[in-house]
Structure 1
Amino acid sequence: MADGIAAIVSSTSCPTNIALQSVCNAMHVPLVFVARDNCQVTAGRKYTLSMRPEASGIDRALADVILQQRWRSMVVFYDDYYAFSRIQNVLALTRGNFMEVIVLKLPSLSNGSQVIVGLPSGQKEISDYGEKLKRVVILCTVENTIRLVKQANQMNLFTPEHHWVIANQEVSDKQLLAINASRGVLTVVRKLISFSEYTDKFMAYWRSLPANVTDGATTSPYDVKMTAAYMYDAVLHISRAVYALFLDRQWIGPNKLRCSIDVSVPWPGGPPLMETLRKVRTPGVLGKSGFDDTGYNINSQMQVLRLEKVVNKTRVEVAGMWDPVTRLNTTARTLPAGTPRVDIRNKTFRVVTLEEEPFVFKRMTPVGVRWEGFAMDMLTELSKLLGFKYKLYEVQDKKYGSPQEDGTWSGMIGDVMQGVRGFALSAITITPQRERVVDFTKRYMDFAVGILLKKPVKKTDLFVFLDPFHVNVWLCTIAAFILVSAVLFLLHRIGTRKTGDDPNDGPDFNLRNTMWFVYGSFVQQGGDLTIGRMPTRILTGVWWLFTLIIISSYTANLAAFLTVTRMDSPIRSFDDLASQTEIPYGTVTDTSIAQFLASSDVETYQRLWSFMKSENNSAALVRTAQEGFQRVRKGKYAFLWDVPVIEYEALTDKNCELTTVGKSIYSKGYGIAFPSADPYRDEFTLAILQLQDSGTLDKLRHKWWPKNGKCKLDQDSASSSSSALDLDNFAGVFCVLAIGVVLACAVALLEVLWHMYRRRREKRNFPAKENGELACKGGCQSPSNVTVRKDENGEIHIIVSPTITQVQVQPNLLIPAQTPVKQSAWEPSKRSKEEYVPMKKVEFALPPEGCSKQQEYVRNVDDFTTRL
């Protein structure tokens, strides 16, 4: 650790492994180990993972194989390789079906002797054990197992009438051939190897190793040491986790750690790496590896082999597979020789059921009540395949079944146990508690617990186009706009004064036009101002670069905001549900889900159950699933129930207002419940497997859970989903456009009113009569000169001085035709075309005789421009 490490992969003895677990837990360094013997993950070691699956997984596989054989007695041989506690676990899983079980421990080999002291040696002992040794389970090392089988064969204790089961996940193909002298039937349960590209790469590396390491096992992956395969998969899993952290930019490089009494600083990168190691699923030689909360590999798939002696040869065939989800999948060929097949044709079964859409439900027809649903369709197919008849009855208490205080069971399970019905069929889940009292067929559908919620109301944000930038960015952008406009205007004014130009010569660079230019540049529409001086060009160039980055970032982010619909839901998982109290939640009482939550050791599930059972939430639990669905529709309630059932409810909801949470828990399966040791269960199991192979069950599943149903199944209402843009996305933009149109019209109306006001004022100041005569007091004798000026209000004033005699004027003027006038034209000079409109030819009238003082006439703006 002093050199800096991120993780440790080990395969050591148990004492060394325990020491490593302690050190790695203290330093927060993940330890991935391949256990030897019976090494386990020490409780409380959060940084320890075991590549081997938990021993209980192998025990369950062995128990399923034993139950499939329907033995009533057996002998169990074990040695130090297999702990006695595991034998007790296997016996518990078989639910006490055996009348007699003999457990014998084999002593260790003495001085390398090839003889195992354990089998009966005397004639009396052989006669005593002869019948009992026909059903044997061997839980020993591979070497002890081979020697035990050979010794039994030599003592004529292993004949074709004998059926022995070997449970050891490391039995190789070469070792199977080593027991080819056997004459009985052997069933071998071993670890399944996934033949994939990873297996090919592993075998290529394995063949490149020295012969003393490979021991000549270079042909079959099953001949390779299982420890090596586990180590290879461990390295793959760690590399996958490290790569995931790199992609998420959460990787923290390893430190040089120091472990001492005085100083012990853990590695900060350990927690995120450990969390990723638990989350990722990595394919490898032995399948897809992953880890549960206890630190064990969840990949515990097993292969079931059958060995028989046929014409002096040992025939090895794959009899089935086992995994924790689907359990044991076998065919009829794995039944022991001589096992009778029951006659099921034309037999009538009494079937107890319970309404649970879409599995089973009633429908009224003109001829009476008709049972429909997925389970009913499957029952019809089974009836056609096996040739039996059935009568349906509904359970009286309308419950699936749970244990009572007096030891009896309620619901459908209780009816099956009492023999009132032939078997039970509905959405009934396979649980360990129920398996102890009844026999289930193989699962016909997977089961899990999910959350049903009412869809959150979609919030429409009119100003979603402002979301790409934070409010601080918008404020800073507005401030930058004002600042650049002011500085650009000042730079121009300073530059014109310095060069001697008149800053008022040419109105282009007034403050208003400057701000319009800066705004046009910001929205990338350009501007009409000419930037000639170097300071203003520098500022303009920097502003253009600024706007390029801002607008590009805004456009890219706006596309993501507009094409993604976000639903605001506070519940995305069971952890979210347990950590909030605003939305109450519950499930149906006296069900497997309620029992699971009540007995779970997981903190999250404990909080869920505590909330449901609290006095303040006494109404959280409901009596039926339909009652739970109705409460969800009313809002402010989350219902925990079977995933297939709540998915069907969400798909067929009248108002399409229901949704489910994508994450589920408590993975189990649905099965048909038979009385314990019922002879017909295996026939139904084989028929279900045939329906699965033929695709019939898949067709029925698509029929009742269509992908394109009435409603869209949104399995995570809180997640984002891409969708077409609708009016809601642009409502705010249209509002801004409407406000701009209204504002422009209002400004235009004010301008019209202002000009109307100015015209009335001009008419009052211009003393003209209707007949066109000029009003003047006294006699006008002196001619006048004409001067024009503009006041502060922008009005044009014409000043006439009496200096000129009477002349003839044009008839369109406001002066009578006989009044003498002087005709002259005035044109603006050095004025911009954009600010001035060329004046018409203006004719100025002289005042009548008798006007001694200067007169002032205000001309109409229609005859003159509004600016000078």
Structure 2
Amino acid sequence: MYFKVSLIISFVLINLLKGESDRQKQIYKVGGIFSNVDHGIAFEIAAFSANNKYPWSEIELVPFTHIIAYQHALKAYSTTCNLLRDGVAGLFGPSSEFSSAYVQSICDAKEIPHVETHCNFNIRRNDSLVNLHPHPRSLSNLFLDLVEAYRWQKVVIIYDNDESLLGVSTILGLNKKEKVVVIKQLETQDSGNFRPALTTIKATGNTEFVLACSMDVMEEVLKQLQQVGMMTDIYSYIITNLDVQTLDLSPYQYAGTNITLGRIIDPEDTEVMQLAESIYKFRKSREVNTEDEVLFPSWKMRYETALIADAVQLFYETLYDLTIDKKKSITATPLSCHEDSSWNEGYTITNSMKTKSVKGLTGLIRFDTEGFRSDFNIDIMELSLGGLITVGQWNSLRRSLNIYRPEKTSTRSGVENIFNRTLTVIITISQPYGMLTETTTQLVGNDRFEGFCIDVIRELSHILGFNYTFVIQEDGVNGVFNLTTGLWNGMIREVMEGRADLAITDLTVTSERETAVDFTMPFMNLGISILYKKPEPAPPSLFMFVSPFSAMVWIMLGVSYFIVSLCIFVMGRLAPAEWQNPYPCVDEPEFLVNQFSIRNSLWFTMGALMQQGSELAPISISTRAASGVWWLFVLIMVSSYTANLAAFLTVETLVTSFKDIEELASQDEIKFGAKKGGATANYFRDSNLSIYQKVWSYMVNHPELMVDTNEEGVRKVETENYAFLMESTTIEYVTERHCSLAQVGGLLDDKGYAIAMKKDSSYRNGLSKAVLQMQERGILTGLKIKWWKEKRGGGNCAAKSEGSEATPLDLQNVGGVFLVLTIGTILGILGSFGELAWHVHKKCKQQHKPFIRNFLDEMRFFLKFKQQVKEVAEVSINDGKPESAELDILKK
């Protein structure tokens, strides 16, 4: 019986605590309008996943999903108005451009954040719109770069609608470069029969095609291309639709056709697979499975579904930053489509979303200054005998296309084999990429060198079976193009002129260098960042002991003290039990006394507040109840103060000189620079962003701040008020060994280190595949841990941090308490003199004696420190007899 009662009580308490936790959360409703059921499912799953990802967060998203017909603008309008009446904080969808325009117009008028995930060719800068889809113009550059990399001279674009043609609009500009571009549209009114049009295209003899078709017809177009004989090894296709990987391409993988496509989501990514599994479970629980699609594997997930999940994550983290980190109060309000009211906080959320970067299912989500997503990565895929394989990557911001084969060709004859060849590999002495081996014995040959890049070449030789000989680039220059002479220097020139087969070091892949040499797939991804001294702890405040409570809490504490004292005084006078007989021996006293005078009431509450108590003891029920409540209040406040004070005294607040490149460029105290002629300096030189141009202008005007080596830059950071712009991986290496230095801000760009070789080298394909194998096996990650965190002093700073003890409190930390003690004591002494003066003043009035004489008499007695008994100047009379007996006893 006792167990059952305890179980019931526990259940009730758990529910009460859960209810209290729920009441503390700020609920934000979000509306989703979709035409695809999977989009709606992904929207709800993403909202719940965001809530569960941050269980400690005080915000919670509640999704409201509506499925409407595609292009049903009127339904979209009415649904939007209904959601606004419910007080949503943001709207997602719909996918139809026509319906989305109606939703957008309402959101503009009401200042409600509107998040789109579909490809919008009419996209424009808008205060309330956030579109996570890669910008169509940037995406079009991918297919242009592929055509140019494959060196196609005549390109045939096959498309089915205007939107698909707009997606490859940049290819049309090839006509101005003495290349032929032919456009062929597949008419859709023939009930899906494209064979006549395809047969006509085949008769032209063209073999290189850009296939720009929507997913509605893509599967049928591929099938009919095979039927008319255009899926053989002489044909090459670049497919522009990023969802084509979701189709079954197995019927075409054995035909030898060169098919290239782009992919923005990785179906083998853990989070992608988790979302696919969640969609499958959701379908099963809601019984929304299609006829033949019970399972939902991750490779069948279309990228707009992933974009919706990314959009919800971005929205949630934006709200989290605004409400939790920035302490901004955001409350959604119901709105009517028929009134002029709007939501004041809407633009704040939209602008914050456009300035935030998050890692999502579709890669890094980051917006440019115009609010467009123009910086993203696309995996380049090819159809092989084993299915789709990754053969490279393309970055939209740098227009950097890195593929394994510079030309698309069906023949493999004449390809030189790297097996059993001896290659000359040029390196630079640069930590930790290439270094001289630390040893007491004399070494020769390749044994003289060690480092990350040395181990990379060693692993590649094991995979591909080649031999190698290391040579050093004596001047340490990676390669800079001289505009005056038109020549390259450094390692790039050595490779171009054939004195070295490969070049490997911290060599950044840039578009300028790719015009001179070929690069493998990057073996390390990185970006530019800032190296500077670690933030210094802020000097402790003299009155730090006041910090645990805000000014309002201190004021309320003081007000509470006086109010409770006054209440106890009033209750003491009202309660009969507080009026006590001063002489207990007298049964029928003539008068009663009350211990709670106003001064005693103040002293009683002060004693409880200071946890010292007093000689006063409440007698009546009312005063005891009030005292108990006051003691409980004091207990909680003192405990809270003690806990907070411990945190304030032990936690150090760091003072940062700057937080990012904008603040660094806007100040004059801290000098900064980069490596002369390096890829970092060239990045700022070639950038079109105004802030980066400002940085480059500073570098040009202060050439003395540019250094020849990274080591020199690190020394300047340690010894001067100097910030050094360099690659993030090198910063990571430096901060592992120089504990006084740290990276400031995030990455300013996205690039990679790769192996350089002569243009059109036959080694490129094999080396790139081997680098990819090393990535997949985790070899590159292991090598980075080895040379960054283990070798040559790696992990030194982490060990110091783990072994550090609590810092003892200095006088500066608690000096305010001593100051309060000193001031309080002085005020107490001055107060005692004031009391003495007031006492003398009253006695002078009674005795009619001079004030100075009485005051001097009192001071003379004060200086007699051994005397503990003081005579009464005026003898009081009671029944005509002096009461001096007690005084005589005390004197004796």
Aligned-partner Cα distance in 1 for 2:873–2:290:
105
Instruction: Give the aligned partner of residue 864 of structure 2.
Output: 758
The answer to whether the 8 A contact 1:428-1:671 is kept is yes
Q: Does 1:589 align with 2:676?
A: yes
Equivalent residue, structure 1, for 2:731: 646
- Name which of structure 1's ranges 83-92 and 108-117 shifts more when overlaid on structure 2: 83-92
Looking at structure 2, the residues matched to 481 and 623 of structure 1 have their Cα atoms a distance apart, in angstroms, of 68
CA distance in 2, matches of 1:159, 1:493: 106
- Could you tell me the TM-score, scaled by structure 1's length? 0.68
- Asked if residue 295 in structure 1 is aligned to residue 336 in structure 2, the reply is no
Distance change >3 Å, CA 760–CA 235, structure 1 → 2:
closer
Structure 1 residue 451: Cα displacement: 1.6
Q: Give 1:166's aligned residue.
A: 239
Please say if residues 115 and 130 of structure 2, whose CA atoms lie closer than 8 Å, have aligned partners that are also in contact.
Answer: yes
Using the TM superposition, give the Cα deviation of residue 671 of structure 1 relative to its aligned residue in structure 2, in angstroms.
0.9
Deviates more, 1:190-199 or 1:229-238: 229-238
Residues 1:202 and 2:279 are matched in the alignment: yes
Q: Which residue of 2 is the match for residue 798 of structure 1? A: none
Partner of 1:29: 112
**CA pair 119-235 structure 1, distance change in 2 beyond 3 A:** same
Instruction: Note if 1:349 corresponds to 2:455.
Output: no
Q: What is the distance in 2 between the residues matched to 1:520 and 1:238? A: 53
**Cα deviation digits, residues 344-367 of structure 1 (max 9, x gap):** 245343333334322234568664
Q: Max radius of gyration: which structure?
A: 1
User: How far 1:475 moved relative to its partner?
Assistant: 7.4
Q: CA deviation at 1:11?
A: 4.4
Which residue does the alignment assign to 2:839? Answer: none
Normalised to the residue count of structure 2, the TM-score between the two structures is 0.67
**Deviation string for 1:154-203 (max 9, x for gaps)?**
56554345554434223366664676996746455456464534223434
What 5-or-longer segments of structure 1 have no aligned partner?
309-315, 716-720, 763-788, 796-825, 829-838, 840-857
CA distance in 2, matches of 1:9, 1:489: 62
Identity within the alignment, %: 23
Offset at residue 468 of structure 1 (A): 1.1
> Residues 27-84 of structure 1, C-alpha deviation per residue, up to 9 Å, x if partnerless?
4333333436xx336342243233433346755766787799x677674433345447
Unaligned runs of 5+ in 2: 1-79, 584-589, 830-858, 876-883
SS in structure 1 at match of 2:527:
strand
Of the structure 1 ranges 505-514 and 676-685, higher mean CA displacement relative to structure 2 is found in 505-514
Q: Judge conservation of contact 1:153–1:183 (CA < 8 Å) in 2.
A: no
Compare 448-457 and 572-581 and name the one that shifted more. 572-581
Deviations along 1:196-244, one digit per CA (max 9) or x if unpaired, are 3422343466689999x96865555689794873686477458746874
- Look up the match of 1:570: 657
- The answer on 1:709 being equivalent to 2:795 is yes
Q: Report the equivalent of 2:460.
A: 382
Pairwise CA distance, 1:469: 2.8
Equivalent pair of 1:75/1:136 in contact (CA under 8 Å):
yes
Cα offset for 1:9?
A: 3.5
Q: Name the counterpart of 2:747.
A: 664
Distance 1:253 1:361 in 2: 59
Distance apart, 1:673 and its partner CA = 1.5
What's the CA shift for 1:337? 6.4
1:683 to 762, 766, 770: 766
2:388 counterpart of 1:306: no
> Do 2:242 and 2:263's aligned partners in 1 also have CA atoms closer than 8 Å?
yes
1:465 aligned partner: 545
CA distance in structure 1 between the partners assigned to 2:573 and 2:341 by the alignment: 65
Alignment-derived partner of residue 135 in structure 2: 54
Q: Does structure 1 residue 109 correspond to structure 2 residue 184?
A: no
The alpha carbon displacement at 1:558 in A equals 2.0
**C-alpha RMSD of the superposition:** 5.6
- Which of 410, 429, 451 pairs up with 1:373? 451
Post-superposition shift, 1:684? Answer: 2.0
Please state how far the C-alpha of 1:657 moved relative to its aligned partner. Answer: 1.7
The answer as to 2:875 corresponding to 1:791 is no
Matched-pair contact (CA < 8 Å) for 2:538–2:652: no
CA pair 489-193 structure 1, distance change in 2 beyond 3 A: closer
Tell me, in whole angstroms, the C-alpha distance in 2 between the residues paired with 1:239 and 1:735: 45
Question: CA 1:618/1:137 → structure 2, altered by over 3 Å: closer, same or farther?
Answer: same
Aligned partner of 1:271 in structure 2 is: 347
CA contact (8 A) 1:402 1:591 kept: no
Structure 1 residues 74 and 356, CA gap change in structure 2 (3 angstroms)? farther
Instruction: Please tell me whether residue 625 in structure 1 is matched to residue 710 in structure 2.
Output: yes
Report deviation, 1:743.
Answer: 11
Please name the residue that 1:445 is paired with. Answer: 524
SS at match of 2:864: helix
The 1:60/1:564 distance shift into structure 2, 3 A limit, reads farther
Residue 396 of structure 1 deviates from its aligned partner by 3.5
Residues 736 and 264 of structure 1, relative CA distance in 2, 3 Å threshold: closer
Alpha-carbon distance, 1:560 to partner: 3.1
State the alpha-carbon separation in 2 of the partners of residues 488 and 630 from structure 1. Answer: 69
- In the TM superposition, residue 658 of structure 1 has moved relative to its aligned partner by 1.3
Q: Distance in 2 between matches of 1:571 and 1:589?
A: 24
The reply to whether residue 433 of structure 1 matches residue 512 of structure 2 is yes
1:319 aligned to 389, 396, 410, which one?
Answer: 389
Which letter maps to 1:199? A
Please, which moves more after superposition, 668-677 or 724-733? Answer: 724-733
Cα 1:535–1:82, aligned 2, differ >3 Å: closer, same or farther?
closer
In structure 1, the residue corresponding to 2:772 is in which secondary structure? helix
C-alpha distance 470-755 of structure 1, shift in aligned 2 (>3 A): farther
Structure 2 residue matching 1:594: 3-state secondary structure = helix
Assess if the C-alpha contact under 8 Å between 1:650 and 1:713 holds in 2.
no
* CA deviation profile, 1:397-431 (whole Å, cap 9, x unmatched): 73543563554444433443444432321111122
8 Å contact 2:256–2:410 — kept in the other structure? no
Structure 2 residue identity aligned to 1:648: Y
Tell me which protein shows more helix as a share of its residues: 2
Distance between the aligned counterparts of 1:291 and 1:664, measured in 2? 12
CA shift, 1:632, in A, is 1.3
| Alpha-carbon shift at residue 440 of structure 1 (Å) | 1.2
C-alpha distance in structure 1 between counterparts of 2:322 and 2:730, whole Å: 40
Alignment CA distance shift 1:349-1:185 (3 Å): closer
Deviation string, structure 1 residues 449-476 (Cα, Å, up to 9, x no partner): 2221112333453654332134676577
2:168 to 86, 98, 102: 86
Q: Secondary structure at the match of 1:638?
A: strand
C-alpha distance in structure 1 between counterparts of 2:651 and 2:470, whole Å: 53
In the alignment, residue 387 of structure 1 is paired with which amino acid?
F
**1:382 aligned partner, one-letter code:** L
Give the secondary structure class of the aligned counterpart of 1:548: helix
Q: Partners in 1 of 2:776 and 2:874 — Cα distance?
A: 95
How many positions carry a matched residue from both structures?
739
Query: Structure 1 residues 683 and 700 mapped into 2: Cα distance closer, same or farther (>3 Å)?
Result: same
Letter in 2 for 1:577: L
Residue type of the alignment partner of 1:679: S
Q: CA deviation at 1:447?
A: 0.9
Rate the CA distance shift 1:64–1:374 in 2: closer, same or farther, 3 A: farther
- The one-letter code sitting in structure 2 at the alignment partner of 1:758 is K
Deviation at 1:592, TM superposition (A): 2.3
How big is each residue's C-alpha offset from its partner over 1:806-834, in whole Å with a ceiling of 9 and x where there is no partner?
xxxxxxxxxxxxxxxxxxxx996xxxxxx
* Whole-Å separation in 2 of the counterparts to 1:225 and 1:11: 18
Q: 1:728 aligns with which of 805, 809, 813?
A: 809
- Secondary structure at 2:430 match in 1: coil
SS across alignment from 1:666: coil
Q: Distance in 2 between matches of 1:540 and 1:443?
A: 73
